[in-house]
Amino acid sequence: MREKLQEVFARHHGSRDALIPVLQEIQGVFGYLPPEAMDAAARFCRISPVEVYGVATFYAQFKFDPVGRNTIMVCQGTACHVMGGARILEEVMNQLKVQPSQTTEDGRFTLETVACIGACALAPAMFVNKDTHGRMKPEKIAEILNGAGN
């Protein structure tokens, strides 16, 4: 990790102004912001680690957990919402034991919510990686999750 971070830092001047581009690049490398990397970024930009954390959590683009091997996206757009998208999300959260934007402990799944993925006709909809699953029912979830890659 240290070398990869050094490569990122080498491209910037160590000051507060560099923080956001530095964080973006770190996320580019690791897929998320590991705590050690935020700590190193704090030193590099000469601010306290918690300030880095504060700034990073301000922007929705930054992730704080490693991304799972499968990404589940449950739509919460209007159409899906009307058709019971909230219950789908709840059930997925129950089964995976994670909140949206979190990754399961075994690193198999990352759960995300989205607002309309353009499959309103199939509402409520959910994506597993690139596969769309429409007309979702809570009972179908277990099978779909089981079918995802390890």
Partner 1 sequence: MNNDIISLTVNGKDFREKKIQGKKGQTVLEVFRDNGIPVPTLCHHPKMPPYGGCRLCIVEIENMRGLPPSCTTPATDGMVISTHTERLARVRKTVLELLVAYGDHNCLFCEMNGNCELQNLVYEHGVNTIRFKTDFVPRPKDESNPMIIRDQNKCVLCGRCVRACQNVQVNGVIDVAARGSNSFITTFNNTPLMDSNCVSCGECVQSCPVGALTEKKANGLGRAWETEKVRTTCTYCGVGCQQWLHVKDGRITKVTGVEDGAPNKGRLCVKGRFGYEFIYSEDRLKTPIIKENGGFREASWDEALDLVASKFKEIIAKHGPDAVAGTSSSRSINEDSYQMQKLFRTAFGTNNIDNCARVCHAPTVAGLAKSFGSGAMTNSFSDFAKAKMILVIGCNATEAHPVAGTYLKNAVANGAEMIVADPRRIELADLAALHVPLKVGSDIAFLNAIMNVLINENLYDKEYVASCTDGFEALKAKVMEYPPEKVADIVGVSAEMIRDVARRMASVKPALLVYTLGITEHTCGMNNVMSCANVQMLLGNVGFEGGGVNPIRGQNNVQGACDMGALPNLFPGYQRVDDPKAQEKFKAAWKVKSLPDKPGIMLPEMLEGCATGKIKAFYIFGENLANTEPDIKHVEHCLESAEFLVCQDNFPTETTRFADVIFPAAAWSEDNGTFASSERRVSRVRTVSKAPGIAKPNWWIFRELARRFGQVWESDSGKDLWDNEISVLSPPFAGIKYSRIEEDGLQWPCPTETHPGTPIMHKDGKFTCGRGQFQAIDWTPPAEVPDKEYPFVLCTGRRLYHYHTRTQTGRCEGLNVLLGEETVDMSPQDAKKLNIEHGEFVRVRSRRGEVKVKAKVTDKMQEGNVWMAFHFREGCANWLTNPVFDLVTKTAEYKACAVQVEKIV
Question: Which residues lie near ligand FES (CB under 6 A)?
Answer: 75, 77-80, 116-117, 119-120, 123, 125
Of 86 and 117, the one with the shorter C-beta distance to ligand FES is 117
The one of partner 1, ligand FES, none whose footprint includes residue 15, by CB under 5 to 8 A per kind, is: none
Q: Name every residue whose Cβ is closer than 8 Å to that of residue 70 and which is 6 or more positions away in sequence.
A: 108, 109, 110, 128, 129, 148, 149
* Per-position x/- string for 29-58, each x denoting binding to partner 1 as judged by CB under 8 A, each - no binding: ------x--xx-------xxxxxxxx--xx
Q: How far is the CB of 60 from partner 1 (least distance, A)?
A: 9
Q: Considering CB under 8 A, how many residues would be counted as binding partner 1?
A: 14
The one of ligand FES, partner 1, none whose footprint includes residue 39, by CB under 5 to 8 A per kind, is: partner 1
Looking at residue 135, the DSSP 8-state letter turns out to be S
| Antiparallel, parallel or unpaired: β 109-114 and 126-128 | unpaired
Q: How far is the CB of 57 from ligand FES (least distance, A)?
A: 22
Q: How far apart are CA 48 and CA 11, in angstroms?
A: 21
Helix, strand or coil, per DSSP, at residue 84 = coil
Of 53 and 109, the one with the shorter C-beta distance to partner 1 is 53
Is 109 in contact with 99 (CB distance < 8 Å)?
no
Is 78 in contact with 116 (CB distance < 8 Å)?
yes
